[in-house]
Amino acid sequence: MSNIIKAQKGTKDILPNDIEQWQNLELKALEIFTRAGFSEIRTPIFEATELFARGVGDTTDIVNKEMYTFEKSERSLTLRPENTAGVVRAYIENGMHRLASPVKLWYKGPMFRYERPQAGRQRQFHQVGAEMFGIKEPTADAEIILLAVDYLKALGLNDLDVEINSLGCSDCREGFKTALRVVLKPELDIMCPDCQARYEKNPLRILDCKVEVCRRILEKQEVQNVIVSDYICGDCQKHFDELKKYLDALNIKYKRNKLLVRGLDYYNRTVFEIKSNNLGSQNAVCGGGRYDSLVKNLGGEDTPAVGWAMGMERLNSLLEKIESKKMNAYVVSNFSVEALKLVEELRNLGISCDFDMTNKKFGKQLEKASKNADFAFILGEDEIKNSTISVKNLKTSEQKNLSKDEAFKFVKSMKKT
RNA sequence: GUGGCUGUGGUGAAGCGGUUAACACGUGCGACUGUGACUCGCAUAUGCGAGGGUUCGAUACCCUCCAGCCACCCCA
């Protein structure tokens, strides 16, 4: 065991035992997103490094220290750390701005971030996400949040915390940044090294800092005054107020979190997270927001957009384990040809069934049947002679000898249950 | 990248200097030649993450490394 090749740090096999959980997430996603008019899009798992540097932003942790980057034929490529940039690239490249607006897309798949793994964090993890292009009105923000909430509800997750905030547009953001720099300047020397760096590059990120000294600075009255005072302009404020109005009307409970700034550079106006307190330290299930300038920044038409992504591993850890179901039937027989033919006929009728391929003793086969299936279809010497099948309910031990026709009629009734 | 905890079979685990490395589950075979789930027997780790050291002796003690988990940073 010690010299075998193992899965790499931060990666995991999803084994048959867990697969129904995953299929459930995917099936519900398809159902909920489709009925809301979202189409699935599948983009490559790696992209030009530059896409993420320009898209996600080179001041972000994701781009600075978490990318899986490699060189091939003098091109710098990166395993996607998130998928908004990739979807935007596909949107632009395929001229999707010509489609009727809004363009509503969803995706699912693996993402890669080079980090130390811990609870709720892996190097290869999976996200489902939704993006909507072309609508600047706050109805789009409401629609996209509603989609997330609906999906979570469909999964049975009703009591998660929705936090929202508005970052304003780039204009109001500059005002806010300047104000922050002014009020934080006297404290610059005592702040943590990270925040000292953030001070110039992106002072908003200081609001997120968890270091004790920085926290204390943030609690100071004069700093609080800056945080609490709304730096966002009239238009942005109106946009945000309308969003809140819609959420209220939809009865979606939310909290305003003024410290919510999000780690990606492309957001403006609305940002939100959905959190659970049953996840340990990594408690965000869903994160998203509006990114009105990203399409243009990546070379496309000026197109407003909103979206979010959810961590599928985190969703799974909030959900009850799904017990895997038994097969409908198990064919018990020592006559391989007849067994094989019956198995095929049953499967064609749409029921799941299996049989023993090693011609084990009758008792053993029945034992297998009771472990793996709800019904045993017994085909022995007598049955074959009389063209009948003995159908045994393995829960109740009730057994009936039926003609083939009767047995197949019975099969059809089984399908409904 | 930094810190804490842990590392015994397919799984859950006991053992804490000298054991045949317990027990349970799982799996396979048999008792039971066409009737399972109960029961009963048998088999299932030449090895206790890897390498080195201390010792007459190390799964146990020490060192190094590796891996896993959790936490920080940040996020899904």
pLDDT of residue A377 exceeding 60, the answer is yes
Q: How many CA atoms lie within 13 A of A406 on its CB side?
A: 9
> A138-154 vs A234-249: helix axis angle to the nearest 10?
30
pLDDT of residue A125: 95
pLDDT of residue A4 exceeding 80, the answer is no
The pair of three-digit structure tokens given for residue A189, joined into one six-digit string: 């020397």
Give residue numbers, 228 to 267 of A, with CB < 7 Å from strand B.
262-264
Which letter does DSSP use for residue A357 in this model?
A: S
Residue type, A19: I
- pLDDT by residue (tens digit) across A227-268? 766 678 889 999 999 999 999 999 999 999 887 877 677 889
Residue A51 in contact with residue A86, Cβ under 8 Å?
yes
pLDDT of residue A110 exceeding 80, the answer is yes
Any idea which of A19-23, A43-47, A132-136, A142-146 has the lowest mean pLDDT?
Answer: A19-23
**DSSP labels for A149-161?**
HHHHHHTT---PE
pLDDT band at residue A175 under the 50/70/90 scheme: confident
Q: Is the C-beta of residue A210 closer than 7 Å to nucleic acid chain B?
A: yes
Across the range A115-128, mean pLDDT stands at 93
Residue A404 in contact with residue A383, Cβ under 8 Å?
no
Q: Is the C-beta of residue A9 closer than 7 Å to nucleic acid chain B?
A: yes
Q: Which domains does chain A have, with CATH numbers?
A: 16-169+232-318 (3.30.930.10), 327-416 (3.40.50.800)
pLDDT of residue A141 exceeding 70, the answer is yes
Give residue numbers, 348 to 377 of A, with CB < 7 Å from strand B.
360-364, 366-367, 369-371, 376
From residue A338, how far is each of A190, A293, A385 by CA, in Å? 82, 66, 12
pLDDT of residue A169: 85
Any idea which of A277-281, A290-294, A359-363 has the lowest mean pLDDT?
Answer: A277-281
Mean of per-residue pLDDT scores for chain A: 89
User: How many Å does it take to go from CA A367 to C1' B15?
Assistant: 36
> Which nucleotide is nearest, taking the CA of residue A262 and each C1'?
B75
Kind and range of the H or E run holding A332? strand A327-332
Any idea which of A135-139, A189-193, A324-328, A387-391 has the lowest mean pLDDT?
Answer: A189-193
Beta carbons within 8 Å of A293's beta carbon, 6+ residues apart: A170, A266, A268, A302
User: Under the phi-then-psi rule, with left for phi > 0, alpha for psi from -120 to 50, and beta for the rest, what region is A299?
Assistant: left
pLDDT of residue A229: 67
Residue A227 in contact with residue A258, Cβ under 8 Å?
yes
pLDDT band at residue A325 under the 50/70/90 scheme: confident
- pLDDT by residue (tens digit) across A254-265? 999 887 877 677
